[in-house]
Amino acid sequence: MIQKTLSIIKPDATERNLQGAILKMIQEAGLKITAMKMIHMTRTQARSFYAVHSDKPFFDSLTEFMCSGPVVVSVLEGENAISSYRQVMGATNPDKADPGTIRKTYALDIERNSVHGSDSPETAEVEISYFFSQLEMAG
Ligand code: ADP
Ligand code: MG
C-alpha cells in the first residue's frame, strides 16, 4: 500500500548540519520526498504539534527543544511509508535503536533523537496537514 508520512529533522540535527546526511538515508531507503521546507517553530506551534504528549513529564522539555532551532519538515511517500520510515528512524531511545538507523547513527539522547515520523495513517494525515497546504504537495 502506498502511504504518505510526515518527517521532521529535529533541531539537534540541523544544528550539526546533518540535513543532507539524514535525507540521504531516507532516499536510500526508497522513500520519495514529495514536499519539504525548513521552518523554525514557535513554542505555541511546537506545543500544539505534540499536544498528544501534553500529560507526559517530558512535554515542556520536548517542546522547548523543538522550538530551539530550525527543523526540516517533509512528506515522504512509498510502499508502507509509515512503518518503513519508522524502521529507518530506529527506536525512540537511540541506545535501543538498531545499527544503521538514523537514530542509532545520529541521535544524542532519547529527547534529542534527530527525527520524527508519524506513527499511524490517522496521525500522518493530521501531521501532514498541520505543516503543508495542498498547494505545497508535489505528488
Ligand atoms: P517517537 O518520536 O519515536 O514516536 P514518542 O512519540 O513516544 O516517540 O515521543 C515523542 C518524542 O518525545 C520523542 O521522539 C523524543 O524526542 C521525546 N521523548 C520521548 N520519550 C522521552 C523521554 N522519556 N524523555 C525525554 N524525551 C522523550
Ligand atoms: Mg511518536
- Among candidate residues 92, 98, 119, 114, the one with its CA nearest the CA of residue 18: 114
C-alpha radius of gyration, the chain, whole number:
14
- Cα separation of the two ends of the chain: 16
Cell output for 80: 508502507
- Average pLDDT rounded to a whole number, residues 32-43: 97
* pTM, entire model: 0.98
**Ligand 1 pocket: which of 113, 115, 126 to mutate (most atoms <8 Å of CB)?**
113
User: pLDDT digit string (tens) for 98-134?
Assistant: 999 999 999 999 999 999 999 999 999 999 999 999 9
- pLDDT band with cut points at 50, 70 and 90 for residue 137: confident
| CA neighbor of 75 nearest in space, from 15, 28, 10, 133 | 133
